[in-house]
Structures are given as C-alpha cells and as structure tokens.
Amino acid sequence: MTEIKSQFDPSLRKTIKGKKQVAVIPVGSIEQHGPHLPISTDSDIVTEIARKLSEKKNFLLLPTITYGVSFEHAPFFNLSIKESTLSNIITDLCTSLFANNIKTVFVINGHHGNLKPLQNIDVKLRKLSKNKLQVFSLSYWHFMNGEFDHAGFAETSLMLAISKNVKMKLAKKGLVTSGMNQQQIKKLGQLASKSFPQVTKNGIWGDPRKATKRDGQIILDEIMRNITKKCQTCLTGHSSKLHQ
C-alpha cells in the first residue's frame, strides 16, 4: 500500500507511471455516537477499513474526508456539510486523480447520510471523463452479514477492535428493533434519517452494552473479506451492480 499523503513528488509520479494505480478515498462523518463512542467513530472505522483494503490490494490510500452529511443528528452534536458539497468534493478529487493519470477510484463510505450524494457519482464522473474514469462507491456496512446499527452492538464492537477511545461504562441501551417487522423498521429508519434523536431518544440505534473487542474483530474480518472480493469483481468488470 502507498499512503499518498506521506509520499514525495518524484517517487510518487514514478509509482503512478510504472503501474496502473487504484485510489481509495474513505469518507466518514463527525456526529454524536452516544455517550460511549467519540464523534469521529464513522471516520475512524472507515479509515481503518480503507487502510486494510489498500494494504491488501496495494492501492493508493488518500486521506479520509472526515466530514459528512449528518444534519439528522441535530440538536445532538454534528459537524455537517451539504450533500452537494460532498458530491462536489468527491467529483473534484476524482477529476484531480484523473489529471494525475489515476483512472480507477474506490470511495469507501462510513456513514448512512452520505449515501445519497454518493449514489450516482460514478455515472457523473464517467460522463465528465468521457468514459475514462471508473469510480465505485461502496458503503462498508453492506459487507457485513449481521444488522448494522448506530453506536449499538456492531458499531461499538468495531470501535473496540480498532480504538482505545471507547467508554464502555457509559454505554446505554438505545432503540431496539427486535420483535418489529421489516416494514416497521424501515419506517423508523426513514424517520431517523430526518431526526435521529426523535426516533431513538438517546441517539443510539441498538444496544451496545454487550459489545466486545472480539466481536468487533470478527465483524471487521467479515467486512474485509467481502469488500475485498467486491473490489476484485469491480476491477475485473464482472459486477452488475456497482453501487452498494
């Protein structure tokens, strides 16, 4: 893996010239994750996944876009950018990568609110580059088998596996959907995307109290296996569905 920010110009250009490069842009968020997880949670997790992926596949890792679209968490703390801003940042970065002769980009997303601006970005960039630039956006939680949450069991376990900045003693049960049908859960999800605190009351979707580092490691391994496979499929062109 080459972490792009620590490189020097001549050798970086040589690397790019020598072999067709694939770039990875992690995108996170800064938003409340209950009293037990830091506001950088999404950015921390997606950075780790993008780093592992880049190591495994020898990709060029770009610095994480730490801000995302998190207005739904107000009045709890969030630092948000507009959907159009995020879409413009990704478009500009990919265009710049293309100008540097890097034509394949994976955008790895770590936050639900970023989904919409990332949705058709591949089409937009294909058009802008006259079909020369390939952009794939993948949201990491689509690559785990269990249900995802917000500061619940899955996300808290993932954080325990990658960070020391977790306060398990403060972990509180949030909105628990077991016993509800898919339709009810979907409806709550739609409401939560407008006001997360209104639906969950304490800003937590799920129950983090039984989260463990070991569970986080298992979930992380599973995500890495699946997302690596998906990237391979994208690169060989055998994928029918590019956006996840």
Return d(Cα 64, Cα 80) in angstroms, integer: 15
Specify the 3-state DSSP secondary structure of 72.
helix
Does residue 42 interact with Zn ion by CB under 5 A? yes
85 touches 205 (CB < 8 A)? no
| Closest approach of Zn ion to the CB of residue 225, in Å | 21
**Minimal distance, residue 175 CB to Zn ion, in Å:** 14
Site string for Zn ion, 158-187 (x = CB under 5 A): ------------------------------
Nearer to Zn ion, 41 or 78 (CB): 41
Q: How far is the CB of 158 from Zn ion (least distance, A)?
A: 9
| CA dihedral over 32, 36, 38, 41, signed as positive or negative | negative
Residues in contact with Zn ion, counted by CB under 5 A, come to a total of: 2
Query: Closest separation between CB of residue 18 and Zn ion, Å?
Result: 38
Alpha helices per DSSP H over the chain: 9-18, 41-57, 83-99, 115-119, 121-128, 153-162, 182-192, 196-200, 213-236
**44 versus 122: smaller Cβ distance to Zn ion:** 44
User: Nearer to Zn ion by C-beta: 83 or 155?
Assistant: 155
